[in-house]
Amino acid sequence: MSAPNIANCSLRELRTLLDENKISAPELAQLFRARAKQYSHLNAFLRINENDDYHPAAGNFLDSLPIAHKDIFCAQGEKTTCGSKMLAEFVAPYDSTVVENFRNAGMNTIGRTNMDEFAMGSSGEHSAFSASRNPWDENYVPGGSSSGSAAAVAARLTPVATATDTGGSIRQPAAFCGVTGIKPTYGRVSRWGMVAFASSFDQGGVIAKSAEDCALALSAMAGFDERDSTSLPQPAEDFTRQFDQPLSNIVIGVPKEFFSDGLDNKVASRVQEAIRQFEKQGATIKEISLASVKHAIAAYYVLTCAEASSNLSRYDGVRYGFRPTENNDSDLTTMYEQTRTQGFGAEVKRRILIGTYMLSYGYYDAYYRRAMKVRTLIARDFEQAFTGCDVLLGPTTPSPAFALNAIADNDPVAMYLQDIYTVPVNLAGLPALSLPCGFSGALPVGLQLIGAPLAESLLLSVAHEYQKQNDYHLQMPAGVQ
Q: Is the peptide bond before 10 cis (omega within 30 degrees of 0)?
A: no
Smallest distance from ligand GLN to CB 305, Å: 9
**Closer CB to ligand GLN, residue 6 or residue 312?**
312
Does 358 sit near ligand GLN (CB under 6 A)? no
CA–CA separation, 370 vs 141, rounded Å?
34
Does 121 sit near ligand GLN (CB under 6 A)? yes
CA–CA separation, 451 vs 186, rounded Å?
12
CA–CA separation, 385 vs 201, rounded Å?
21
Smallest distance from ligand GLN to CB 5, Å: 33
DSSP 276: H
Q: Segment 192-221, which members bind ligand GLN (CB under 6 A)?
A: 197
- Applying CB under 6 A, among 49, 96, 97, 122 the residue interacting with ligand GLN is 122
- Applying CB under 6 A, among 120, 163, 274, 458 the residue interacting with ligand GLN is 120
- Applying CB under 6 A, among 147, 166, 311, 338 the residue interacting with ligand GLN is 166
Q: Segment 293-312, which members bind ligand GLN (CB under 6 A)?
A: 304
- Report how far apart, in Å, the C-alpha atoms of 8 and of each of 154, 217, 371, 473 are: 10, 16, 44, 10
Give the N- to C-terminal CA distance of the chain in Å, as an integer: 13
How many residues in total does the chain contain? Answer: 481
**Is 269 an annotated catalytic residue?**
no
Alpha helices in 89-170, H assignment, sequence order: 97-104, 147-154
DSSP 50: S
**Closer CB to ligand GLN, residue 58 or residue 413?**
413
Nearest residue to 173 (alpha-carbon basis) of 201, 200, 194, 152:
152
Residue 29 sits at φ, ψ, to 5 deg, of -65, -40
- Applying CB under 6 A, among 135, 167, 205, 436 the residue interacting with ligand GLN is 167
Stretch that binds ligand GLN, among 160-168, 270-278, 324-332, 467-475 (CB under 6 A): 160-168
Q: Segment 133-152, which members bind ligand GLN (CB under 6 A)?
A: 145
Stretch that binds ligand GLN, among 49-57, 154-162, 166-174, 265-273 (CB under 6 A): 166-174
Q: Which of 64, 127, 145, 146 is catalytic?
A: 145
Does 49 sit near ligand GLN (CB under 6 A)? no
When CB distances to ligand GLN are compared, the closest residue is: 169
Stretch that binds ligand GLN, among 116-124, 249-257, 355-363, 463-471 (CB under 6 A): 116-124
User: With CB under 6 A, what is the number of residues at the site for ligand GLN?
Assistant: 14
Smallest distance from ligand GLN to CB 147, Å: 11
CA–CA separation, 246 vs 252, rounded Å?
13
- Applying CB under 6 A, among 95, 100, 137, 165 the residue interacting with ligand GLN is 165
**Closer CB to ligand GLN, residue 338 or residue 396?**
396
Q: How many CB atoms are closer than 10 A to CB 171?
A: 36
**Is 169 an annotated catalytic residue?**
yes
CA–CA separation, 430 vs 148, rounded Å?
24
- Applying CB under 6 A, among 48, 119, 131, 296 the residue interacting with ligand GLN is 119
Number of H helices, E strands in the chain: 15, 11
**Is 200 an annotated catalytic residue?**
no
Nearest residue to 200 (alpha-carbon basis) of 308, 98, 93:
308
If you compute the radius of gyration of the chain from its CA atoms, what whole number of angstroms results?
21
Stretch that binds ligand GLN, among 91-99, 159-167, 250-258, 270-278 (CB under 6 A): 159-167
Does 114 sit near ligand GLN (CB under 6 A)? no
Burial of 103 (0-12, 13-18, 19+ CB in 10 A): buried
Nearest residue to 310 (alpha-carbon basis) of 273, 374, 354:
354
- Active-site residue set: 70, 145, 169
Interacting residues with ligand GLN (CB under 6 A): 119-122, 145, 164-169, 197, 304, 419
